Amino acid sequence: MHSTGQNKGGGAVCLVSGGLDSCVTAAVAHSLSLPLAFLHVGYGQLAARREEEAFNRIAEHYQASQRLVSNINHLSEIGGSALTDSSLEVPEGELDREGIPVSYVPFRNANMLSIATSWAEVLGFHSIYIGAVQEDSSGYPDCRESFFKAFASVIEEGTKPDTSIQIMTPLIHLRKKEIVEQGAKLGAPFHLTWSCYQDQEISCGRCDSCLLRLRGFQEAGMPDPIPYRKIPASFEP
């Protein structure tokens, strides 16, 4: 069963990349007073070390009862994405770009959800929270609501008869501005997050992820608490 609403029982496996969206999603799950298991999945991405560091800080902030760091580094061996393939360059951010950008990691979310499903079934948890965003993202096909509905059917078919696991996507139809606003209301630790695709010390301020984040904070009328190497003039306060 797929749902974008509130889970009504059991614990939750929270997929936490360390980024803004996953942090706010974790804040949503935490607000429901659910037992939480935080899952981080590396995939050979450029910012892997920094994202894992952000994950651990967020997990500590929310005092997650359990945490697991896993990896699907075969995605970097497969390549095909600027985030995992050294032969491809991370492009300059372009908020009005049409089509699927080269930063798309082929079928990444299916790989991650498979791990989350295995862990949730073993833990006896009833939900998986993932910070996917369809409305204000880079256009990745595995961030669409229809994808999560399809994967929910896979979970139902591929788990034990007495297993019941929902995929929870509370941010799926929000714009980045609304995500920032919701996170602020829930006290999400924005300062602990990391969104940049390529740098690991100071955010570049140039990639799609940085630009989407900067625009979200600007439209929400809030300062972004993390440092940037360079902020485009259009986003300067």
Dist CA 229 CA 211 (whole Å): 12
State the pLDDT at residue 131: 98
Question: Is 93 inside a domain boundary?
Answer: yes
Q: Are 31 and 195 in contact (CB under 8 A)?
A: no
Question: Is 27 inside a domain boundary?
Answer: yes
Question: Is 236 inside a domain boundary?
Answer: no
Q: Beta partners for 37?
A: 13, 66
Q: What are the residue ranges in the chain where pLDDT is below 50?
A: 1-9
State the pLDDT at residue 136: 64
The CATH number linked to 52 is: 3.40.50.620
State the pLDDT at residue 237: 66
State the pLDDT at residue 147: 96
Question: Is 171 inside a domain boundary?
Answer: yes
Number of domains in the chain: 1
State the pLDDT at residue 7: 41
Residue 131: CB partners within 8 Å, gap ≥ 6? 15, 16, 17, 19, 21, 22, 23, 24, 25, 26, 169, 171
Torsion angle, CA of 211/213/218/223, rounded to 10 degrees? -120
Q: Are 167 and 210 in contact (CB under 8 A)?
A: no
Question: Is 119 inside a domain boundary?
Answer: yes
pTM value is 0.93
Question: Is 126 inside a domain boundary?
Answer: yes
- pLDDT tens readout for residues 106-134: 999 999 999 999 999 999 999 999 999 99
87: containing domain: 2-231
Question: Is 237 inside a domain boundary?
Answer: no
Question: Is 52 inside a domain boundary?
Answer: yes
